[in-house]
């Protein structure tokens, strides 16, 4: 189920942040289910972003502090075509493992967006008007999930409706959605976490 | 309906669909590899049970190809996971490493082994799965979670995409390749110009292309954000497919009621040899505009530019000359590797041409440095180097170091640059 409010610090990125920047390919070897190995995805999340544009407007802000596995930033603000490139699910997974609860982009690449939704990793919001340039890395933001707004220092910015995928996000992931739709006849085994939470918990 | 709509409607058991419809489709082939297979298998077991069986072993194809020739222990562990799963599920189409069945790059291996068939639905855990649209089928990339769902139930939900149609008129001049055409289109519409959309290629300029060249066109639709590429099947398609498989298939063909969101027309004669400059596939320039640019190495390989015809093109330029910068030759599959040691140009094998020119030849077929990979990967850019490459993507750090820079180009242009030592127009060498 989706959280009602997401409160945390923002990390701001530009346009076309591709999956190789989100999680460089040499790291795709770690297990997504082994708890210790999986932490490395958090450690290297966004490590491929060029230093000059890592944390706008100034850049050179590490998303993950040296030697850590979790990020102090809970919300990512991005420009156009966030997550373009590869179909690697390690990309949304690494952001969730690092502690990201929502991304607000101007637009997404299709496979990345689909992976976020079907894996139930976090909420992929789109801003009605781009927030890159309006918000700075480190700004405290509050997302109201129901009313689709994000607030910083008293200013309220509108987010777009989630549309068709809200049903899947509310169900939790595509497996829960498929069970609701009667496409998986057997109930989920008791105590088994869903795919997305497996990758992130 | 468009070709894409016809395939999706049939697989949803509907008379018709329109763009924007959310439908569940039956899957003909699910492909996965060593990078995404282990995660997919893990989710499949968690969701369907440790003893669960895949929905149809004949339809699950597993092709390890990414991190094969490396000392990385995790990479080898991941292939072990695939092997154990293929064994326990008795999957007939597992192309294991260190066996005569080993293939290499999945998108080239799929058609070689007869897994790409007109009218079908193919999902793969790799963004370049769109390559198979060249065979007149719906093919697209997905993540581990979607692949695990397909493994269990053989279905996936899809939003029906609208179609952008690209018509090429005229015949290909001897210095131009499909890579130039697709880089030209991406330069026009941008790296998100086809997001959520099908890209269909048509016209006499496209239908006169070989299957390998058609695959290059469809391979890079993902670089424009496209969901799938599509080319109507014809005798060229059927001849290729029938030479690789006896399985029956039901092709779809152009219909007069097809509605396209846009249709762009190009005269091939107007398109020059083209590159994408660092650091984006839509950062287009003609080769002439960047001729003379200093480079540190050249790379010929990958699902985009590592096929037999790609190496034949390179050999035409390189034969009888020496390369002036490090030039890496990475055949996509073991079949391509065998073929370059047999196929000849002007009486000399392609392999001999590359060896005499001083090229560095990969020890085996794989994705290699196209996506960087582990630090000991053949051809990886480990520092602030400039490379001109026949691969598909050049965002920062794609081929290794964040400090490196990649120009994307056709095999002709990369080969011309190899013998010139700086970026060079292939028309000067052909």
> For residues A119 and A172, what is the distance between their CA atoms, to the nearest angstrom?
8
Cis peptide before B75 (omega within 30 of 0): no
Q: What ipTM goes with this model?
A: 0.97
Q: What is the pLDDT of residue A194?
A: 47
CATH of domain B274-428: 3.30.499.10
Non-local CB neighbours of A156 within 8 Å, separated by 6+ positions: A149, A150
Per-residue model confidence as pLDDT tens digits over B75-106: 999 999 999 999 999 999 999 999 999 999 99
Residue B316 clears pLDDT 60, i.e. is over it? yes
User: What's the whole-number mean pLDDT along residues A172-200?
Assistant: 69
Of B142, B395, B398, the CB nearest to A111: B142
Identify the residue among A18, A25, A35 best suited for mutation to test binding to B, counting B beta carbons within 10 A and taking the highest.
Answer: A25
> For residues A103 and A109, what is the distance between their CA atoms, to the nearest angstrom?
13
Residues of B in contact with A195 (CB under 8 A): 43, 46-47, 144-145, 148
Per-residue model confidence as pLDDT tens digits over B219-247: 999 999 999 999 999 999 999 999 999 99
Non-local CB neighbours of A107 within 8 Å, separated by 6+ positions: A80, A81, A82, A126, B192, B195
User: What's the whole-number mean pLDDT along residues B157-180?
Assistant: 98
Model confidence at A198, in pLDDT bands (50, 70, 90)?
very low
Alpha helices in chain A (DSSP H): 19-22, 35-43, 90-98, 110-119, 166-171, 174-180, 195-200
User: What's the whole-number mean pLDDT along residues B237-263?
Assistant: 98
pLDDT averaged over every residue in chain B: 98
The B residues from 362 to 391 touching A (CB cutoff 8 Å) are 371-375
Per-residue model confidence as pLDDT tens digits over A15-56: 999 999 999 999 999 999 999 999 999 999 999 999 999 999
Distances (CA, A) of A64 to A30, A75, A104, A164: 18, 13, 19, 33
Q: What is the pLDDT of residue A193?
A: 47
A165 near B CB under 8 A = no
Decide if A50 and B143 are in contact by the 8 Å CB cutoff: no
Residues of A in contact with B42 (CB under 8 A): 31-33, 198
* Secondary structure letter of residue B394 according to DSSP: -
> Could you tell me what percent of chain A has a pLDDT over 90?
88
Residue A57 clears pLDDT 90, i.e. is over it? yes
Q: Kind and range of the H or E element at B73?
A: helix B73-88
> For residues A188 and B13, what is the distance between their CA atoms, to the nearest angstrom?
27
Residue A186 clears pLDDT 70, i.e. is over it? no
Decide if B155 and A16 are in contact by the 8 Å CB cutoff: no
User: What's the whole-number mean pLDDT along residues B346-358?
Assistant: 98
B176 near A CB under 8 A = no
Q: What is the pLDDT of residue A185?
A: 79
CATH 3.30.499.10 in chain B is located at 3-265, 274-428
* Secondary structure letter of residue B342 according to DSSP: H
Residue B254 clears pLDDT 80, i.e. is over it? yes
Nearest residue of B to residue A196 by CA position? B145
Residues of A in contact with B39 (CB under 8 A): 31-33, 89-90
Domain ranges of chain A: 5-194
> Would you tell me which CATH number, out of the four given (3.80.10.10, 3.10.450.50, 3.30.499.10, 3.40.630.30), belongs to the domain B3-265?
3.30.499.10
* Dihedral (CA of B334, B206, B122, A33) sign: positive
> For residues B241 and B249, what is the distance between their CA atoms, to the nearest angstrom?
10
A96 near B CB under 8 A = no
Q: What is the pLDDT of residue A188?
A: 56
Per-residue model confidence as pLDDT tens digits over A123-180: 999 998 999 999 999 999 999 999 999 999 999 999 999 998 999 999 999 999 999 9
Residue A200 clears pLDDT 70, i.e. is over it? no
Model confidence at A1, in pLDDT bands (50, 70, 90)?
low
Per-residue model confidence as pLDDT tens digits over B391-421: 999 999 999 999 999 999 999 999 999 999 9
Q: Which fold has domain A5-194?
A: Aconitase; domain 4 (3.20.19)
Per-residue model confidence as pLDDT tens digits over A110-135: 999 999 999 999 999 999 899 999 99
Decide if B396 and A192 are in contact by the 8 Å CB cutoff: no
> For residues A79 and A65, what is the distance between their CA atoms, to the nearest angstrom?
23
Model confidence at A189, in pLDDT bands (50, 70, 90)?
low
3-state secondary structure of B74: helix
Of A20, A114, A196, the CB nearest to B397: A20
Decide if B192 and A80 are in contact by the 8 Å CB cutoff: yes
Of A31, A88, A195, the CB nearest to B35: A88
Q: Strand pairing partners for A63?
A: none
Decide if A118 and B78 are in contact by the 8 Å CB cutoff: no
Per-residue model confidence as pLDDT tens digits over B28-58: 999 999 999 999 999 999 999 999 999 999 9
E strands of B385-426, at which residues? 386-389, 405-408
Pairing type for strands B155-159 and B138-141 reads unpaired
């Amino acid at each position: 189920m989706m959280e009602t409010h997401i409160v945390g610090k923002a990390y701001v990125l530009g346009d076309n942040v591709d999956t190789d920047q989100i999680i460089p390919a040499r790291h795709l070897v770690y297990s997504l289910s082994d708890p210790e190995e999986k932490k490395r995805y958090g450690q290297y999340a966004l490590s491929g972003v060029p230093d000059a544009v890592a944390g706008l407007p100034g850049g050179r802000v590490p998303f993950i502090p040296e030697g850590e596995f979790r990020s102090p930033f809970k919300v990512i603000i991005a420009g156009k075509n966030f997550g373009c490139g590869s179909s690697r699910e390690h990309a949304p997974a690494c952001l969730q493992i690092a502690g990201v609860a929502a991304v607000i982009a101007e637009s997404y690449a299709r496979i990345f967006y689909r992976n976020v939704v079907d894996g139930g990793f976090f909420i992929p919001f789109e801003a009605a008007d781009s927030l890159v340039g309006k918000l700075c890395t480190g700004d405290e933001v509050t997302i109201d999930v129901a009313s689709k707004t994000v607030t910083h220092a008293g200013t309220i910015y509108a987010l777009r409706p989630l549309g068709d995928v809200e049903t899947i996000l509310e169900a939790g992931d595509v497996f829960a959605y498929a069970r609701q739709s009667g496409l998986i006849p057997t109930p989920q085994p008791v105590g088994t976490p869903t795919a997305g939470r497996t990758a992130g918990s | 309906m468009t070709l894409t709509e016809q395939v999706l409607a049939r697989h949803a058991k509907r008379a018709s669909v329109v763009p924007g419809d959310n439908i569940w489709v039956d899957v003909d082939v699910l492909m996965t590899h060593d990078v995404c297979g282990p995660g997919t298998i893990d989710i499949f077991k968690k969701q369907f049970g440790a003893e669960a069986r895949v929905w149809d072993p004949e339809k699950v194809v597993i092709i390890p190809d990414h991190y094969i020739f490396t000392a990385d222990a995790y990479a080898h562990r991941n292939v072990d996971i695939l092997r154990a799963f293929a064994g326990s599920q008795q999957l007939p189409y597992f192309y294991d490493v260190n066996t005569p069945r080993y293939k290499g790059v999945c998108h080239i291996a799929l058609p070689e082994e007869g897994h790409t068939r007109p009218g079908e639905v193919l999902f793969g855990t790799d963004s370049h799965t769109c390559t198979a649209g060249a065979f007149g089928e719906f093919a697209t990339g997905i993540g581990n979670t979607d692949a695990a769902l397909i493994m269990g139930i053989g279905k996936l939900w899809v939003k029906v995409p609208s179609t952008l149609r690209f018509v090429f008129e005229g015949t290909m001049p001897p210095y131009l390749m499909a890579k130039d055409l697709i880089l030209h289109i991406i330069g026009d519409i941008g790296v998100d110009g086809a997001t959520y959309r099908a890209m269909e290629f048509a016209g006499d300029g496209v239908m006169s292309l070989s299957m390998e060249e058609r695959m290059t066109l469809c391979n890079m639709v993902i670089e424009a954000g496209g969901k799938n590429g599509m080319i109507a099947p014809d005798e060229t398609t059927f001849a290729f497919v029938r030479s690789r498989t006896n399985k029956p298939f039901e092709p779809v063909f152009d219909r007069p009621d097809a509605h396209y969101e846009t249709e762009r027309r190009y005269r091939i004669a107007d398109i020059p040899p083209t590159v994408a400059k660092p650091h984006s596939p839509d950062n287009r320039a003609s080769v002439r505009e960047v001729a003379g640019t200093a480079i540190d190495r050249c790379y010929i390989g990958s699902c985009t530019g590592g096929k037999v015809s790609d190496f034949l093109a390179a050999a035409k330029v390189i034969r009888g000359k020496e390369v002036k910068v490090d030039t890496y030759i990475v055949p996509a599959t073991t079949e391509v590797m065998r073929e370059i040691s047999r196929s000849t140009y002007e009486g000399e094998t392609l392999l001999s041409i590359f060896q005499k020119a001083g090229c560095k030849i990969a020890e085996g077929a794989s994705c290699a440095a196209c996506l960087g990979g582990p630090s000991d990967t053949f051809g990886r850019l480990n520092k602030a180097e400039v490379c001109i490459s026949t691969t598909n993507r050049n965002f920062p750090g794609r081929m290794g170091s964040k400090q490196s820079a990649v120009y994307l180009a056709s095999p002709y242009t990369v080969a011309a640059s190899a013998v010139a030592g700086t970026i060079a127009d292939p028309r000067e060498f052909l």
